[in-house]
Amino acid sequence: MPLPDGGKTPWPPKALDDVFARIDSWDAWYTGEPDHLAEVYGGLGGGRGFDTTSRARVRNRPSQYRGGVLGRVSRWFWGAPTDAGEVPSRLHMPLAGDIAQKSTRLLFAEPPRLKIAHAATQKRLDKQFESLHASLLEAGETCAGLGGVYLRVVWDDTIAPAPWLHAAHADQAVPEWTWGRLKAVTFWRILLQDNQRVVRHLERHEPGVILHGVYEGTPDTLGKKGSLEAYPDTEDLAERVETGTTRLTVVYVPNMRPNRVWRNIPAAEPLGRADISGAETPLDQLDETWTSLMRDLRLGKGRVFVPDVYLGSNGPGQGATWNPEREVYATLNMLPGAGDGSMITASQFDIRVDEHLGIARQLTIEILRSAGYSLQSFGLDGEVEATATEVTARERDSGLTRGHKILYWKPALAEAVLTLQEVDRAQFGADIVPQEVEVDWPDGVAEDEEKTARTLQMLHAAEAISIRTRVERLNPDWPKERVDREVLEIRRDLGMVDADPAEDLGAVAATGAMPRTATGDEPDDEQDDAEDEPTA
């Protein structure tokens, strides 16, 4: 399908109004902007409620005092109207952003390993992996915060000699599906906005082709189609770009499914849900609790009340002040009244710290439970030193959530990297053979070395593991060449190799076979300790 004709075509499509409104509310919690939260829950918004490029100044609206849906939403802490004469003083706790950040750390703190059978292709992919890892860290956070993320293959030979993956956010795309699979997607961005004039750039991805277009319209409609050359951000783009692959150059990664909110909307049912989906109410209450605590702190500041005679004049029209460090005052032409005591009165209100923190902790627990994370992951279960097994047990919920998300990331990442290879060969003439990618995710919690050593020692005593397997298990991230070197060093230390280690390594590099032992026998690749095997 071509790009839209423009004119009075609504953008984004009206069928996705509720979808983008919901994503906008998740974005408000994720970014943690108080003005945005007040806009979302206070009834403000640009146009149809999800145009975040022109947020109006926070003000009260008549709908906030009504009943029904609008009035109910407005009765949220962030939707409550501000009394006349008062300055908005609501505070925000960035827990939603912390949850999204924790999600990407659980997934990508240690990068997944991408394995390809073809050596030249693997070598070129390894060179691109550093930037790929950074893209995955960004994509993982926005995926958790907004419910999903798009990984699109992009390239520009004036910037880099190879394509790379770019993370496109969920509120920048209009997807199209076939039986839950992405078949096309249109990204958009605003190039220029001047009151009611909005210039948009649309980028449509279809299998084998990318289409670009510029539209000059209003906040709600696309308007007439303009020229790409008229704007600096699009002047170098062609209206139609052949990608060199029959595959779609975009993959969608849902954060979690099913999406309870949009399960009956065909255009949105395959989309994922944010980690905070369903926890908006306790998040709102957490901000109310935090604001109340800070209000107690502000009102609880100690105050001193003194008679007028204790004040020193600052001159006509300049008011008067009291100096608490002054030691001697002028004598007073009066007698102290009965029971007056000191004429200086100090006032100190209580600050309900424990009550507020207790409520905030319980709300935080409920929010994390709803999002599927353990308290230990956020440091709420104490800082007591624990073994790897104990840590795994305490973080079981986080581990299950991580495993659930990996089920969506693995196939999407494998598909994206395969498309990346095909584009690399077509656009840059790379001498590679695009192949299916094996994505190997590292363990979430690494075992401590002492436990691993004991396990390997027992397996060795039972003659159930070879030297090579022991080295690979202890160092799963080592490349084959380093494993070969370590195996040779161990065999040499055990007197199982009679040749010089450098020569042995040269033989391994040339033939791929292990050197002969001191007895002249060829070692078994499957079991390096064959000489210890009992005979019948």
Q: Is the pLDDT of residue 203 over 80?
A: yes
Q: Is the pLDDT of residue 405 over 60?
A: yes
Q: Is the pLDDT of residue 535 over 60?
A: no
Convert 460-516 into a string of H (helix), E (strand) and C (coil).
HHCCCCCHHHHHHHHCCCCCHHHHHHHHHHHHHHCCCCCCCHHHHHHHHHHHCCCCC
pLDDT in the model for residue 244: 92
pLDDT tens digits, one per residue of 230-265: 999 999 999 999 999 999 999 999 999 888 888 888
Q: Is the pLDDT of residue 487 over 80?
A: yes
Q: Is the pLDDT of residue 464 over 50?
A: yes
Token digits for 18? 């509720």
CA proximity to 280, closest of 372, 149, 371, 404: 371
The chain-wide mean pLDDT, for the chain, equals 80
The whole-angstrom separation of Cα 291 and Cα 237 is 49
pLDDT tens digits, one per residue of 157-186: 889 999 999 999 999 999 999 988 999 999
Question: Which range scores top for mean pLDDT: 45-54, 270-279, 324-333, 489-498?
Answer: 270-279
The rounded percent of the chain whose pLDDT value lies above 90 is 40
Q: Is the pLDDT of residue 518 over 80?
A: no
Q: Is the pLDDT of residue 58 over 50?
A: no
514 against 472, higher pLDDT:
472
How confident is the model over 176-201, as a mean pLDDT? 92
pLDDT in the model for residue 303: 73
The whole-angstrom separation of Cα 514 and Cα 505 is 9
Q: Is the pLDDT of residue 396 over 90?
A: no
pLDDT in the model for residue 505: 53
- Going by C-beta distance under 8 Å and a sequence separation of 6 or more, which residues neighbour residue 448? 387, 388
pLDDT in the model for residue 56: 34
pLDDT in the model for residue 145: 95
CA proximity to 435, closest of 203, 124, 98, 62: 124
The whole-angstrom separation of Cα 121 and Cα 68 is 60
pLDDT in the model for residue 174: 94
Q: Are 252 and 182 in contact (CB under 8 A)?
A: yes
- 238: exposed, middle or buried (C-beta count within 10 Å: 0-12, 13-18, 19+)? exposed
How is residue 213 annotated by DSSP? E
Band of residue 442 on the pLDDT scale cut at 50, 70, 90: confident
The rounded percent of the chain whose pLDDT value lies above 70 is 75
Strands 7-10 and 221-225, by their bridges, are antiparallel
pLDDT tens digits, one per residue of 332-381: 555 455 455 456 676 667 788 899 999 999 999 999 999 999 888 887 76
What is the distance of C-alpha 349 from the center of its chain?
Answer: 41
- 178: exposed, middle or buried (C-beta count within 10 Å: 0-12, 13-18, 19+)? exposed
Q: Are 24 and 40 in contact (CB under 8 A)?
A: yes
pLDDT in the model for residue 282: 93
How confident is the model over 453-459, as a mean pLDDT? 84
Q: Are 508 and 514 in contact (CB under 8 A)?
A: yes
pLDDT tens digits, one per residue of 256-297: 988 888 888 888 889 999 999 999 999 999 999 999 888 888
Q: Long-range pairs for 1-4 at CB < 8 Å and ≥24 separation?
A: 1/184, 1/204, 1/206, 2/211, 3/186, 3/202, 3/204, 3/211, 3/213, 3/225, 4/202, 4/213, 4/215, 4/222
CA proximity to 104, closest of 144, 53, 63, 71: 144
Q: Are 186 and 174 in contact (CB under 8 A)?
A: yes
Q: Is the pLDDT of residue 512 over 70?
A: no
Strands 240-242 and 250-254, by their bridges, are unpaired
pLDDT tens digits, one per residue of 71-120: 444 567 888 776 655 556 788 999 999 999 999 999 998 889 898 888 89
- 308: exposed, middle or buried (C-beta count within 10 Å: 0-12, 13-18, 19+)? exposed
Q: Which residues are 114's β-sheet partners?
A: 439
Band of residue 327 on the pLDDT scale cut at 50, 70, 90: low
Type of residue numbered 225 = K
5 against 427, higher pLDDT:
427
How confident is the model over 321-334, as a mean pLDDT? 63
Token digits for 402? 């991580």
Q: Are 200 and 188 in contact (CB under 8 A)?
A: yes
How confident is the model over 490-519, as a mean pLDDT? 59
Band of residue 52 on the pLDDT scale cut at 50, 70, 90: very low
Strands 197-206 and 240-242, by their bridges, are unpaired
pLDDT in the model for residue 337: 53
3-state secondary structure of 243: coil
The whole-angstrom separation of Cα 103 and Cα 114 is 21
pLDDT in the model for residue 146: 95
pLDDT tens digits, one per residue of 521-533: 444 444 444 444 4
pLDDT in the model for residue 57: 33
Type of residue numbered 94 = P
The whole-angstrom separation of Cα 54 and Cα 219 is 9
pLDDT in the model for residue 89: 78
Q: Is the pLDDT of residue 217 over 80?
A: yes
Q: Are 140 and 151 in contact (CB under 8 A)?
A: no
